[in-house]
Amino acid sequence: MNPLRMNIVLFEDAAVAKLYPITVGRPAYAVSCASYTLVDLLTPCSETIRGVVRPHLIELQKCDRPALHQTKLDDAQPTLLLNAVVAPTAANRQTLVDWVASKQPGVIYAGDRLLVVLLPPKSPLPAREANAFELRDYLSGPAIAKLPEAEHKLTWFDYPHDVVQANLDTFTDNLELRLREGNYQEQQIGVYLAGSANIGDHVVWDSTSGPIIVEPNATIGPYCYVRGPVYIGRGARILEHAAIKDSVSLAHTTKIGGEVEGTVIEPYSNKQHHGFLGHSYLGSWVNLGAGTSNSDLKNTYGTVKMEYRGEKVATGMQFLGAIVGDYAKTAINTGIFTGKTVGVCSMLYGFVTTNVASFVNYARLFGQVTELPADVMVATQERMFLRRKVEQRPCDIQLIHDMYLLTQDERQLAGEPLAL
């Protein structure tokens, strides 16, 4: 699409912490869902996009997405201030584009939570260097309060399981948007390639329930089964005999084996051995050991309830697996029970019957849960990056230390006898 003349400001509010462990170490606009992140979904809509993130993510944004930090807003254009928890769906994008085209300023709330503000041209705008806290003051000020409420409907991420649900709900629509705007060649009915890919012998493609998109430099080993809708990101590797099916979104540089269903996997994560992963979310730099499996269905076939920092939440979902934070690792034959969260930088052994706090060695089966110092994870990060030829930058090291401090309360809430 042709970019519209508008500013977009993606901001994080205080309630973004409800998405932990997904958003401990990444801006909410960088959460993958059905092949898109919010910032990537909106990039074709405007040439002027800024990100306003929590303080511990500012340096990371400067390094990974400098344009979001450096962009100067144009007060001659309308400005869309968009909560970064708005889901990256084709329907949401169309709603926002149509709203901007209508030139009707206003606000959209979800209860008391501000989701979007559309300001007319010549409106006072937040300072270029405004941080998340300063922007929150601006958004709660009189200029915003006097705007009328718009009737447009949007979906957003309130809790981590909402990412899994939105991934299921919007997958085909998102892939159809990619096909309209991208340069893909249909290799066979419903299977689209964006460039060169290494596809092994005897791969079975099934696009009867939705399209399959394969990005450049992906590898699909022999004797694999791929049932759409499925998105296989740039440089992803699917190993021989894998079964990838029913709304699997693989980000770039992932390595996948075994059976995966209805799951989002962020960049640089590995699940390369046999085992089942279903209706789950995996952050970046996660490694699942051989034989690791999760349950995504209760024995009673009832809906799953999640617990987030002591709050019990009814999801209404019958199929729901695990929410796994960045840098988490599982040992061989780890079994994760239905509807569990796994914190960032944690290491798991045996059966996972409870939620797992961040920065712990979790081996409750053996009566041990111990704390992992941040320095151990910094050294682990360095070894992982070297294997993928990724530079370990000062902002990556600092992020580990910041995540450790931000999740201290998790280890206290866990009620486990933690020891260093």
Give tens-digit pLDDT for 160-202.
Answer: 999 999 999 999 999 999 999 999 999 999 999 998 999 999 9
- The pLDDT of residue 130 is 62
Establish if 348 belongs to a structural domain. Answer: yes
Instruction: Verify that 132 and 202 share a domain, yes or no.
Output: no
Q: For residue 163, give the nearest of 359, 335, 41, 321 by alpha carbon.
A: 321
Taking CB atoms within 8 Å and a gap of at least 24, the contacts of 126-132 are: 126/9, 126/52, 128/72, 128/73, 130/52, 131/52, 131/55, 131/58, 132/11, 132/12, 132/13, 132/52, 132/53, 132/54, 132/55
The per-residue pLDDT of the chain, averaged, comes to 94
Instruction: Verify that 129 and 81 share a domain, yes or no.
Output: yes
How confident is the model over 301-307, as a mean pLDDT?
97
Establish if 208 belongs to a structural domain. Answer: yes
Q: What are the angstrom distances between the C-alpha of 1 and each of 47, 101, 103, 243?
A: 12, 14, 19, 34
Establish if 39 belongs to a structural domain. Answer: yes
- The pLDDT of residue 129 is 60
Instruction: Verify that 227 and 277 share a domain, yes or no.
Output: yes
Tell me how far the alpha carbon of residue 113 is from its chain's centroid: 21
Q: For residue 325, give the nearest of 351, 354, 359 by alpha carbon.
A: 359
Instruction: Verify that 251 and 198 share a domain, yes or no.
Output: yes
> How far apart are alpha carbons 174 and 185 in whole angstroms?
17
Angle at 169 between CA 255 and CA 253, to 5 degrees: 15
How confident is the model over 227-233, as a mean pLDDT?
98
Instruction: Verify that 134 and 260 share a domain, yes or no.
Output: no
- Which of these three, 84, 116, 145, is where a domain ends? 145
- Which of these three, 98, 118, 145, is where a domain ends? 145
SS3 label, residue 65: coil
Establish if 94 belongs to a structural domain. Answer: yes
Tally of residues, the chain: 420
DSSP code for 53: -
Instruction: Verify that 182 and 141 share a domain, yes or no.
Output: no
- The pLDDT of residue 296 is 98
Top-confidence residue, 218 or 135: 218
Establish if 151 belongs to a structural domain. Answer: no
Tally of domains in the chain: 2
Establish if 169 belongs to a structural domain. Answer: yes
pTM of the model: 0.95
Domain that holds residue 342: 161-413
DSSP conformation letters of 78-144: -EEEEETTB---HHHHHHHHHHHHHT--EEEEETTEEEEEEEPTT-----TT--HHHHHHHHTSHHH
Q: H-helix or E-strand containing 70?
A: helix 66-70
Instruction: Verify that 319 and 389 share a domain, yes or no.
Output: yes
CATH classification at residue 355:
2.160.10.10
Establish if 44 belongs to a structural domain. Answer: yes
> How far apart are alpha carbons 357 and 354 in whole angstroms?
9
Flag whether pLDDT at 357 surpasses 50. yes
Q: For residue 192, give the nearest of 177, 264, 201 by alpha carbon.
A: 177
Establish if 222 belongs to a structural domain. Answer: yes
Instruction: Verify that 190 and 141 share a domain, yes or no.
Output: no
Instruction: Verify that 257 and 392 share a domain, yes or no.
Output: yes
Strand 276-278 to 259-261 pairing: parallel
Instruction: Verify that 105 and 171 share a domain, yes or no.
Output: no
Tell me how far the alpha carbon of residue 371 is from its chain's centroid: 26
Q: 198 pairs with which residues across the strands?
A: 219
Instruction: Verify that 84 and 186 share a domain, yes or no.
Output: no
Instruction: Verify that 211 and 112 share a domain, yes or no.
Output: no
Assigned token pair, 362: 């979790």
How confident is the model over 17-26, as a mean pLDDT?
97
User: Which of 115-119, 143-147, 222-226 is least confident?
Assistant: 143-147
Taking the chain, what is the end-to-end CA distance rounded to the nearest angstrom?
A: 54
- Which of these three, 112, 145, 178, is where a domain ends? 145
SS3 label, residue 100: helix
Instruction: Give the pLDDT band of residue 138 (cuts 50, 70, 90).
Output: confident
